[in-house]
């Protein structure tokens, strides 16, 4: 057993962390997340330059051949800096689907993702579907050499920045059947695609996306028709591992910032960190953070296992992160007191991101149920 | 011991209901709900003015100053009905914070000058208590007032001053004697916000709202007649006010309504094709919440029953603050959980009421973030536990 990182992995972490420390400071983050565009496109270019977008893609298609460990290293550092760039939708999810696609799809997309030439968004959730990946009212009907797409997708994260969508749709069966689900890559500029863009409460950008008789070439089907769900589950589990890593990064900042603050903030003549009730609270935050790191490691190492083992690990991690993120976020605000409630301090923004990470890809309850059902 | 209301009390309830039904037709829409975080001064005062006209704006005041003269039960009924109808709340800073200090400790001129203007809504008050270095440890405050002839010259800074941007007056704790025990050198001043030397700077909070402010005092001249009670006795008045602040803080009636709303929302949300409210896990969480709320309600009723016998609420009223705010926070947390992915959209950034998801999802995540303040303000919940530990358990 060896949990140490390779030299390359350590170098990767150092290069992400250095880039973000130098170029992704909270003050500039505040500016570009509030700008019209909602991001500074230069960062995406730099991520490509640094090889971050290539890190987990296959070597034969312009990637660097890394896997879950590399992805979690990148995401943990991203979590520390509240990175808004669409790494998960484009690389982890988009890349995750396309590297399992046809040879033509791999050829067409993977090198472009690695080079930062395309941004993808994952249009899977629906207004009435909650977290069930198979609960799809969006349909894709085969007509000659194409599919015709109709339906609505809710809260498509990163969609305002994307040029293509990965879309889940029903090609046969009833609304919640496990069979009959398919995955497509759809050009955002295709006729019949409309988007409504908005900022999210955790400073990302998202869109409501509607498809009205959108013609999608059959070549844009990823995987096999009607049997897309296992692949969707696999890619979403990989994305869960990535956002769990992001959450541990965010928690790390909150634990450190809160402990530091408690050493300097004085009330009743002593630093508040001297009060035992707050000491124990911060110990509990630390414990929750450590448990989160451990379970993120577990899911990362189990991503390659067979489907049930992988899915259980992903759900276990998501539950742990959901509970820990809530506790750490709430207590970081509480211990900071009034200042923790302000928009000016970074603490509240980490708290918000952690809150929404619980929602993303299914909340604590959803994954408890999924875990129980798989056990 | 009994729980029933007398025919007179039931008649009073009907009167309150009729008044509310009429008021609803006169008020701007949506004032009581979570989505209306950014209100104008007029919005805030609309309900206050209707209550004033009816003579119902000050249930906590003695009748001689314009109070309603209601019994504890009547006040309870009024709170229950206004909360159930999701009426806005009146702002506490004038009506329930400074006014009781003025009519308890102020002189006749002060009562005559300020109370009618608080009652009518003509003067908007804000609270100058917290300072950047004095939060939980309020008595360490450093804003100082130096006596010069007929005036005090005030210098310093207050913070977390709720809605100071609209205020006409601020009641302030200031240090008048730095050479004695902290609590013995504090004075309670009433200060006109238009006095030269006062600057108000907004603080934006987690949901993006401009709700609180910093207030700076730079050589602000305050007439001595604006002092309440005696110099250096301000801590006594300040504590009296803090106990009052705590008594209404349980918010039981509002939480009951919020739970009802939560049930409506989870009734409209679906999970695997069924209603979320019927989902076993979610239903259990709502039940758990309702049970805790019932326990809190009866704790509050016990306090009210005591009050009806003329006994002032004691330090155990800290229970109401702790449990009341914890429950309020859990309701907002569960509401965010109920709306699923529609917690994401930040409608405030789009312009108001421009919702992305269902109407009921509008502003709910922001409301959850904002309600984290409740376990911090009014004496943090840690401070409330200290109070119980010391004053009730004798630890």
**What confidence tens digit (pLDDT) does each residue in B99-127 have?**
999 999 999 999 999 999 999 999 999 99
Q: The whole model's pTM is what?
A: 0.96
Please report which confidence band the pLDDT of residue B82 belongs to, taking 50, 70 and 90 as the band edges: very high
Q: Report the pLDDT averaged over residues B373-392.
A: 94
DSSP bridge pairs for A183 = A168, A222
**What confidence tens digit (pLDDT) does each residue in A4-45 have?**
999 999 999 999 999 999 999 999 999 999 999 999 999 999
CA distance linking residue A370 with residue A315, whole number of Å: 7
Taking the Cβ of residue B273 and every Cβ of chain A, the question of whether any pair is shorter than 8 Å is answered with yes
Residues of chain A with CATH 1.20.140.10: 230-374
Q: Provide the pLDDT for residue B34.
A: 46
CB contact under 8 A, B340 and A175: no
Q: Give the ipTM of the model, two decimals please.
A: 0.96
Candidates A129, A20, A134; CA nearest to A80 is A20
Tokens representing B1 are 């011991």
Q: How far is CA B120 from CA B55, B63, B114, B344, in A?
A: 10, 15, 10, 41
Percentage with pLDDT > 90 across chain B: 82
CA distance linking residue A307 with residue B258, whole number of Å: 41
Percentage with pLDDT > 90 across chain A: 99
- The kind and range of the H/E element at A237 are helix A229-264
Residues of chain A with CATH 2.40.110.10: 121-227
Chain A residues lying within 8 Å of B375, measured CB to CB = 334
Cβ proximity of B375 and A335 under 8 Å: no
CA distance linking residue A282 with residue B244, whole number of Å: 32
Average pLDDT over chain A, rounded to an integer = 97
Please report which confidence band the pLDDT of residue B387 belongs to, taking 50, 70 and 90 as the band edges: very high
Give contacts of A 160-199 with B, CB under 8 A: 175-176, 196, 198-199
Cβ proximity of B160 and B377 under 8 Å: yes
Please report which confidence band the pLDDT of residue B307 belongs to, taking 50, 70 and 90 as the band edges: confident
Q: Give the minimum alpha-carbon distance from A202 to chain B in angstroms, rounded to a whole number.
A: 7
Q: Report the pLDDT averaged over residues B60-80.
A: 92
Q: Which residues contact A370 (CB under 8 A, 6 or more apart)?
A: A311, A315, A362
CA distance linking residue B278 with residue B284, whole number of Å: 10
Taking the Cβ of residue A45 and every Cβ of chain B, the question of whether any pair is shorter than 8 Å is answered with no
Q: Provide the pLDDT for residue B355.
A: 86
Taking the Cβ of residue A330 and every Cβ of chain B, the question of whether any pair is shorter than 8 Å is answered with yes
| Burial per residue of B7-42, b for 16 or more beta-carbon CB atoms within 10 angstroms, e otherwise | eeeeebbeebeebbeebeeebeebbbbbbbbebeee
CB pairs under 8 A between A and B: 135
- Of the candidates A267, A330, A352, which has its C-beta nearest B136's C-beta? A267
Tokens representing B383 are 């401070």
Q: Report the pLDDT averaged over residues B62-68.
A: 95
Q: Which superfamily, per CATH, for A7-118?
A: Acyl-CoA dehydrogenase/oxidase, N-terminal domain (1.10.540.10)
CB contact under 8 A, A130 and B272: yes
Candidates B264, B136, B104, B129; CA nearest to B191 is B129
Q: Is 2.40.110.10 the CATH number for A121-227?
A: yes
Q: Provide the pLDDT for residue B205.
A: 95
DSSP code, position B138: G
Taking the Cβ of residue A261 and every Cβ of chain B, the question of whether any pair is shorter than 8 Å is answered with no
Q: Which residues contact B153 (CB under 8 A, 6 or more apart)?
A: B145, B146, B219, B220, B221, B222
Average pLDDT over chain B, rounded to an integer = 93
Which of A36-45, A357-366, B236-245, B323-332 has the weakest average pLDDT? B236-245
Cβ proximity of A273 and A262 under 8 Å: yes
Please report which confidence band the pLDDT of residue B35 belongs to, taking 50, 70 and 90 as the band edges: very low
Tokens 């992988």 belong to: A310
Q: Provide the angle, in degrees to the nearest 10, between the axes of the packed helices A229-264 and A346-359.
A: 150
CA distance linking residue A27 with residue A346, whole number of Å: 9
Chain A residues lying within 8 Å of B350, measured CB to CB = 198-199
Tokens 């991101």 belong to: A353
Q: What number of other Cβ atoms are within 10 A of residue A307's Cβ?
A: 12
Q: Is the pLDDT of residue B312 over 90?
A: no
| Burial per residue of A255-285, b for 16 or more beta-carbon CB atoms within 10 angstroms, e otherwise | bebbbebbeebebeeeebbebeebeebbeeb
CA distance linking residue B366 with residue B351, whole number of Å: 14
Q: Rounded to a whole number, what is the distance in angstroms from the first to the last CA of chain B?
A: 33
Length of chain A as a residue count: 375
Taking the Cβ of residue A355 and every Cβ of chain B, the question of whether any pair is shorter than 8 Å is answered with yes
Give contacts of A 93-122 with B, CB under 8 A: none
Taking the Cβ of residue B331 and every Cβ of chain A, the question of whether any pair is shorter than 8 Å is answered with no
Instruction: Tell me the CATH number of domain A230-374, given options 3.40.50.11310, 1.20.140.10, 1.10.1200.10, 3.40.50.2000.
Output: 1.20.140.10
Q: Give the minimum alpha-carbon distance from B255 to chain A in angstroms, rounded to a whole number.
A: 20
Residues of chain A with CATH 1.10.540.10: 7-118
Please report which confidence band the pLDDT of residue B2 belongs to, taking 50, 70 and 90 as the band edges: confident
Residue of A nearest to B381 (CA): A334
Cβ proximity of B313 and A175 under 8 Å: no
Please report which confidence band the pLDDT of residue A196 belongs to, taking 50, 70 and 90 as the band edges: very high
Residue of B nearest to A365 (CA): B281
Q: Report the pLDDT averaged over residues B16-29.
A: 92
Q: Report the pLDDT averaged over residues B68-80.
A: 92
**What confidence tens digit (pLDDT) does each residue in A280-319 have?**
999 999 999 999 999 999 999 999 999 999 999 999 999 9
Cβ proximity of B142 and B130 under 8 Å: no
Residue of B nearest to A350 (CA): B206
Backbone angles phi, psi at A205, to 5 degrees: -125, 145
Cβ proximity of B26 and B43 under 8 Å: no
A219 or B308, which is more confident: A219
Mutate to test the interface with B, among A123, A157, A338 (most CBs of B within 10 A): A338
DSSP bridge pairs for A141 = A148
Chain B residues lying within 8 Å of A342, measured CB to CB = 203-206
Tokens representing B96 are 């329930």
Q: Provide the pLDDT for residue A2.
A: 86
Domains and CATH numbers, chain B: 7-90 (no CATH), 123-233 (2.40.110.10), 248-392 (1.20.140.10)
**What confidence tens digit (pLDDT) does each residue in A154-163 have?**
999 999 999 9
CB contact under 8 A, A130 and B270: yes
Sign of the four-CA dihedral A101, A103, A104, A110: positive
Q: Is the pLDDT of residue B306 over 90?
A: no
Query: Residue A306: exposed, middle, or buried by beta-carbon count in 10 A (0-12, 13-18, 19+)?
Result: exposed
Please report which confidence band the pLDDT of residue A153 belongs to, taking 50, 70 and 90 as the band edges: very high
């Amino acid at each position: 057993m060896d949990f140490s990182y390779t030299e390359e992995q350590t170098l990767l972490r150092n290069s992400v962390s250095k880039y973000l420390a130098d170029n992704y400071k909270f003050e500039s983050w505040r500016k570009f997340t509030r700008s019209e565009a909602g991001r500074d496109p230069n960062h995406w270019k730099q991520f490509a330059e640094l090889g971050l977008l290539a890190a987990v893609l296959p070597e034969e298609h312009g990637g660097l051949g890394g896997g879950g460990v590399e992805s979690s290293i990148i995401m943990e550092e991203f979590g520390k800096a509240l990175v808004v760039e669409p790494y998960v939708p484009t690389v982890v999810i988009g890349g995750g689907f396309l590297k399992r696609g046809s040879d033509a799809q791999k050829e067409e997309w993977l090198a472009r993702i690695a080079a930062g030439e395309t941004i993808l968004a994952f249009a899977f959730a629906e207004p009435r579907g909650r977290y069930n990946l198979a609960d799809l009212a969006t349909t894709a009907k085969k007509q000659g050499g194409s599919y015709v797409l109709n339906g609505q997708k809710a809260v498509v994260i990163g969609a305002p920045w994307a040029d293509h969508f990965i879309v889940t749709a029903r090609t046969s069966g009833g609304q919640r059947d496990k069979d009959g689900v398919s995955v497509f890559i759809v050009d955002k500029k295709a006729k019949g695609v409309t988007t409504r863009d908005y900022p999210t409460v955790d400073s990302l950008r998202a869109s409501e996306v509607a498809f009205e008789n959108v013609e999608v070439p059959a070549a844009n089907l990823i995987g096999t028709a009607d049997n897309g769900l296992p692949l969707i589950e696999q890619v979403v589990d990989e994305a869960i591992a990535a956002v769990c890593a992001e959450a541990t990064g965010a928690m790390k900042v909150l634990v450190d910032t809160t402990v530091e603050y408690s050493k300097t903030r004085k009330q009743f003549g002593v630093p508040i960190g001297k009060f035992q009730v707050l000491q124990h609270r911060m110990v509990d935050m630390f414990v929750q953070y450590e448990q989160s790191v451990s379970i993120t490691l577990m899911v990362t190492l189990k991503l390659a296992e067979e489907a049930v083992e992988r899915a259980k690990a992903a759900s276990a991690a998501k539950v742990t992160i959901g509970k820990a993120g809530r506790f750490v976020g709430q207590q970081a605000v509480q211990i900071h007191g009034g200042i923790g409630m302000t928009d000016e301090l970074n603490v509240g923004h980490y708290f918000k991101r952690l809150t929404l990470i619980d929602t993303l890809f299914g909340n604590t309850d959803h994954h408890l149920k999924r875990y129980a059902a798989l056990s | 011991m009994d729980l029933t209301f007398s025919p007179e009390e039931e008649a009073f309830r009907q009167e309150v209901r009729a008044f509310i039904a009429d008021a609803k037709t006169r008020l701007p829409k949506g004032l009581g709900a979570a989505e209306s975080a950014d209100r104008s001064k007029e919005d805030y005062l609309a309900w206050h003015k209707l209550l004033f006209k009816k003579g119902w704006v000050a249930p906590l005041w003695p009748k001689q100053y314009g109070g309603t003269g209601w019994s504890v039960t009547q006040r309870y009924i009024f709170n229950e009905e206004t909360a159930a109808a999701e009426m806005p709340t009146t702002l506490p800073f004038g009506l329930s914070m400074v006014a009781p200090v003025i009519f308890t400790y102020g002189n006749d001129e002060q009562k005559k000058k300020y109370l009618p203007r608080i009652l009518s809504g003509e003067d908007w008050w804000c609270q100058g208590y917290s300072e950047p270095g004095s939060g939980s440890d309020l008595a360490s405050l450093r804003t100082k007032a130096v006596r010069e002839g007929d005036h005090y010259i005030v210098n310093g800074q207050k913070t977390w001053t709720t809605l100071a941007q609209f205020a006409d007056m601020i009641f302030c704790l200031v240090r008048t004697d730095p050479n004695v025990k902290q609590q013995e050198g504090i004075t309670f001043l009433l200060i006109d916000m238009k006095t030269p030397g006062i600057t108000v700077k907004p603080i934006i909070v987690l949901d993006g709202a401009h709700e609180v402010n910093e207030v700076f005092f730079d050589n602000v001249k305050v007439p001595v007649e604006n002092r309440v009670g005696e110099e250096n006795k301000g801590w006594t008045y300040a504590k009296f006010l803090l106990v009052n602040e705590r008594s209404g803080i349980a918010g039981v009636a509002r939480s009951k309504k919020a739970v009802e709303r939560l049930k409506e929302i989870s009734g409209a949300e679906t999970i695997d094709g069924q209603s979320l409210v019927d989902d076993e896990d979610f239903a259990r969480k709502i039940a758990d919440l309702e049970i805790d709320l019932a326990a809190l309600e009866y704790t509050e009723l016990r306090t009210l029953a005591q009050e009806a016998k003329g006994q002032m609420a004691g330090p155990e009223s800290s229970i109401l603050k702790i449990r009341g705010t914890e429950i309020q926070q859990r309701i907002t947390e569960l509401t965010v959980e109920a709306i699923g992915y529609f917690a994401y959209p930040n409608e405030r950034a789009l312009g108001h009421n421009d919702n992305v998801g269902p109407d009921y999802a509008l502003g709910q995540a922001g409301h959850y973030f904002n309600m984290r303040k409740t376990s911090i303000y009014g004496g943090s919940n840690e401070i409330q536990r200290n109070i119980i530990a010391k004053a009730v358990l004798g630890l």
